[in-house]
Structure 1
């Protein structure tokens, strides 16, 4: 089973690539953002530690769930708080990814295990992946997608872009680059050139 790490800037269209890998190649796809939400649900150890971290900051709803928009506002303004939150969540997510890779390897049902993470490079996933893929889209396309799909303001987009790795660093650290600026079929063609025609 080949383990592929997928990363790229926000708005690059990673979801399109992940769906194709899942449907066409029978890949087991793990999105670390979704996995993190599972790991911090009320009642978990990680949830309790987050409650301590955000004590008095009005970041949990009446059922105990983390209000992500509120937490995002706080950590965006406070780098120290962001680092402390990342130190709690990221190692737990990575450990769970490693566990799931081992389980899928034993089952032998999936030819590919794909893990998507915004901080794939920064969090050292290179050590557990056979390949890293950088999903690239030019800045104009990314801005347009974020305005349409998430209603982000230009100010918010600028701030997000400034906080992410440069294109040079993405390219330097990744095995393959998928240019997702063009048509859907062109993106699919690039994947087929790497993995072949698929199994489904």
Structure 2
């Protein structure tokens, strides 16, 4: 399958969080996302922007838990089978669109496969989450293939796009997302992870 499951989390990444399972730091972003979830106003396409290694993928997993967890909807418990499958990269309602091959780009075939997959809606839960990592690996063709799904979202479909380089993201994609800038983690959060 060209749309791939998420990479599994390491035990160091799975830590208690004020809002989402497995997430350290980024308290302001977590609080904003949690408020939007609680109000039923979560934007369907979110761009997480920040330096490499600060937890963008971990935050995406945590938000996927919040969207799909039956035990703690809107927050995610981090312990139920649904949350564990998300953290292990094995939940059918969370797909990761990743670069392929030596070119390091997300292919048009992968983008089309995710577009077709999202048209069917969630398999098990109330939401279907597509994580694009990194969003700047979308080329013009794969970006345009994904654009229609982002422009005309079906209910319960969420796109989480991750990038270290916002200038490398196609303007047509960027203009349809809610950008959230993430800073470096505090020393205490880094120490807790390490």
Same fold (TM over 0.5): no
Larger radius of gyration: 1
Greater helix content: 1
Report the TM range for the smaller structure's normalisation.
0.3 to 0.5
Q: What is the TM-score of this pair, normalised by structure 2?
A: 0.38
Q: What is the TM-score of this pair, normalised by structure 1?
A: 0.37
